[in-house]
Amino acid sequence: MSLSLLLQASPAIQIHVAAAVSALLLGTYLLVAPKGMRTHKTLGRIWIGIMVVTSFSSFFIHSLRLVYGFSPIHILSVLTLVGSWQAVAAARAGRIADHRRHVGNLYSLALLTAGAFTLLPGRLMHKLLFGEGQGQVHLLVIGMVLVLVVFFQWWLRRDSRRRSG
What are the structural domain ranges in the chain? 4-164
**Hey, what amino acid is at 127?**
K
Residue 117: per-residue pLDDT: 77
Please give the average per-residue pLDDT across 84-105, as a whole number.
93
pLDDT > 90? residue 88: yes
**What's the per-residue H, E or C state across the chain?**
CCCHHHHHCCHHHHHHHHHHHHHHHHHHHHHHCCCCCHHHHHHHHHHHHHHHHHHHHHCCCCCCCCECCECCHHHHHHHHHHHHHHHHHHHHCCCHHHHHHHHHHHHHHHHHHHHHHHCCCCCHHHHHHHCCCCCCHHHHHHHHHHHHHHHHHHHHHHHHHHHHC
Cα R_g (the chain), whole angstroms: 17
Please give the average per-residue pLDDT across 112-119, as a whole number.
79
pTM: 0.79
Residue 36: per-residue pLDDT: 85
